[in-house]
Structure 1
Amino acid sequence: MVKEIIKNADEKMTKTLTVLKGELSTMKAGRANPKMLDRIEVECYGSMIPLNQVANISAPEARVLLIQPWDKSSLKDIEKAILKSDLGLNPTSDGAVIRLMIPELTEETRKNLVKNIKKVGEDGKVAVRAIRRDANDKIKALKKDGEITEDEAKKSEDSIQKETDKYVKEIDTIVAAKEKEVMSI
């Protein structure tokens, strides 16, 4: 039972890390990265569909994203979705493809981006700590019900704390690398 709680907590922390990496990869860092558009959904065929499911997205140059819709009739819908997004990019279309020019980052933009990166990192740490708290609560409940001993509870809580520390350190490393990437562009 205790091993299951610890394994479950570890899986949730791993998922948190995956979400964090995904979120950071969508932040624009002055270079064209197709993942920047992962959060954009296009309204076509009567529903909201992720952009990468209605078009091919590539980065032919360092600061250009090329979007090739599979259905040319969705071109206007894709443009509209990009304009409505929080990316602040202006699409240019030639009737067949959409080009997105990724602007050079200014010092102010870099600082704001770093603030956002730190916020996303802090959110990740909060999520990891919430997972730790939930796991510890389950262990305390088992101890209270007499299903495990005081020593087992202490050992389990220590194990969960080690996992938490490992993931928090990993988040710090990921955030620091992303900050360095943004500031060195």
Structure 2
Amino acid sequence: MQRIILAVLLLCIVQAHAIYVSTSIGDSRLQSDNRIYKPGGILHWSLETGFFNEPENLFDYKLAIGIDRFGYSHSDGDESVSLWELYFKPMVWSVTYYNVMFEFAPYIGWMFSANGITDYDDKLIYGTSTIKEQITLGYEYRLGYQINKQFLVGITANYHQLQYGFHHMPTADDNDDFFIGGWGINFQYNLPW
């Protein structure tokens, strides 16, 4: 089985445009109802690489892995919470027509670090700065333009739902998970192999 997986990965590397690298930068903020004092946004950043990319196809499927920073600010921007995760996109679907591409990707992430969690945040969410086995589910969509065979530029929207360890303080009618995300700009480079 390992030989088959290795052979498939080698074929992907040899195939033209099979691998890409992508980066996004944008806004990240709480999107769900919350009781946080004057919530705001922080800088969202991600870096990913993907396989099976064929931008010349009308319909395309690929998979991707990456690293992501997202979060929110509160107290009128005086405090911020930034969360770091490794994520996996098992199914990235795209449609490209006349160099305009629309893409949708659900993903699962594993949070490995959190910065800025204070006593104030502990009153609002469960969790600490020593996050272990925190899971996120999310989705991303992107609208881009293929400048040439190597470069794509687009706008993206990225949303995370914290699944384990970060919940609203329970009330009679509110115990939903935090939903964090926002809009940004994306750059993709298709490796010319």
Give the TM-score taking structure 2 as reference length.
Answer: 0.27
Higher relative contact order (CA 8 A, sep 6+): 1
Give the TM-score taking structure 1 as reference length.
Answer: 0.27
Q: Which has the larger radius of gyration?
A: 1
Q: Which has the higher strand share?
A: 2
